[in-house]
Structure 1
């Protein structure tokens, strides 16, 4: 998904060429007060890709997503979307540019119904598109069954489905996901990742923060590893999945 075929003048395929960059983070430095959380982070997400962002707690993964979605403003560096700088644009405006963000911890509107939560996801539109609602209910049949249920009474897995569905209602081209498997049973985790694969196959680009490195790298095209606010590794997902350092640090295997 990260490459596309060029054609020669005769119409035949030639070489693989990189897909155009949808998101670029360039030399990002982000601070919380005097503490530097991101120290020159650089990464690229091409159209149609799934990119995984790995790292231990406190490595800067959530900060990276929050900066990309406009929730945090970098002290220096650039957030570039389709070739245009968007750092400094607040998150509620950046949604209009095609970025959706599923935050860590789900953050559903607990006192609203499932349907009202989904409608809130389309707030940037004058009115929700029935086709988008149908898409969400097709991806998540359980939400269709519980459309009138108050979101705070849903299970953790159902709330995660709702958080993803709410973000999809904004018609994002790029979906940022922060720890979608957190606190979920293994069977539900597999269901969530199967749905994320389907969302990507439908044309939505994904940037994924995930502690479950095995699941993330099996889904992803490429990956980055963050340590203490800096990118220390980047490669094709299959290469990272087999790398001894990654396997020791994130898959629980003994270092060789």
Structure 2
């Protein structure tokens, strides 16, 4: 179901008084071959925020995260981190600059143990910080209990916890999360979102792609809605959650 595009929606949230946003995307155009996946996407994430990115399959949500983390290079447009332009910088260097990325599908190393997976997340550091490992085990006690178990034998929910924990080992200031609830049972989804809330409370900024719009907007401060590669709506999360167009398109309700 389509949403009517708001005037100026593509640039919504990018002009802010005071310090620059932690992350700012300016008019990103990204292509896969001749297919334009992002058509001028602009958004901003302030330090300490949780920002949700909503949209149907194929709307460009994962592409947006990949462009932000350096996994894809925009043909035109700019990526800014803490007021410095960073598009064109390799993804592993952006990790060093404070961006962590939890990809869709978790992508844990299946033949490595939980502990080895977590240590891989700290590869940018000379050696893993024991305090970071303790933080992950406190957030995810099941990982502490399974630290010697290989990643490929974990349940889907445990693998998602491991993927998030692995990203946290890199000490990110900004954590990009792509569909963390995908394929998980409702009780596990609730647990994951409670942990994300705690991660944010500990000082990590979150940019969240999520099909579960209700869960995402209950966690988020603000949100953007993508449709066919363009931002069509942006607002505070409570406003989006109560918007009849969003509720009809993403929460299964019938619009008046």
With structure 2 as the length reference, what TM-score do the two structures score? Answer: 0.93
- Contact 2:151 / 2:159 at 8 angstroms: preserved in 1? yes
Instruction: Give how far 1:92 is off.
Output: 1.1
TM-fit CA distance, 1:90: 1.1
Q: In the alignment, does 2:108 pair up with 1:97?
A: no
SS of equivalent residue, structure 1 residue 131: helix
SS in 1 for 2:48: coil
Q: Is the aligned partner of 1:111 residue 2:111? A: yes
CA RMSD of aligned residues (A): 0.8
The answer for the alignment partner of 1:248 in structure 2 is: 248
Given that 2:20 and 2:83 are in contact with CA atoms closer than 8 Å, whether structure 1 keeps it comes out as: no
Structure 1 length as normaliser, TM-score?
0.93
* 1:5 aligned partner: none
Distance 1:85 1:245 in 2: 35
Relative distance call for 1:37 and 1:99 in structure 2 (3 A) is same
- Verify the 8 A CA contact 2:121 2:170 in the aligned structure 1: yes
Is the 1:19–1:46 contact (alpha carbons within 8 Å) kept by the matching residues of 2? no
User: Is the 2:175–2:205 contact (alpha carbons within 8 Å) kept by the matching residues of 1?
Assistant: yes
Q: Which has the higher strand share?
A: 1
Which residue of structure 2 lines up, in the alignment, with residue 48 of structure 1? 48
Q: Which runs of 5+ in 1 are unaligned?
A: 1-16
3-state SS, counterpart of residue 166 of structure 1: helix
**In structure 2, do the counterparts of structure 1 residues 19 and 83 end up closer, same or farther at CA, with 3 Å as the change threshold?**
closer
Q: Is the 1:45–1:207 Cα contact (8 Å) retained in structure 2?
A: yes
**What residue in structure 1 maps to residue 224 of structure 2?**
224
Structure 2: which 5+ residue stretches go unaligned?
1-16
Q: Secondary structure at the match of 2:57?
A: coil
The SS at the match of 1:176 is: strand
Deviation, 1:93, is 1.2
Checking the alignment, whether the CA contact within 8 Å between 2:50 and 2:200 is kept in structure 1 is yes
Name 1:139's counterpart in structure 2: 139
Could you give the per-residue CA deviations for residues 92-127 of structure 1, whole angstroms, max 9, x where no partner exists? 111000000000000000000000000000000000
Within the alignment, does 1:67 sit opposite 2:104 as a pair?
no
Higher RCO, 1 vs 2 (CA within 8 Å, ≥6 residues apart): 2
Partner of 2:23: 23
Q: Does 1:149 align with 2:149?
A: yes
Shift in Å, 1:19: 6.5
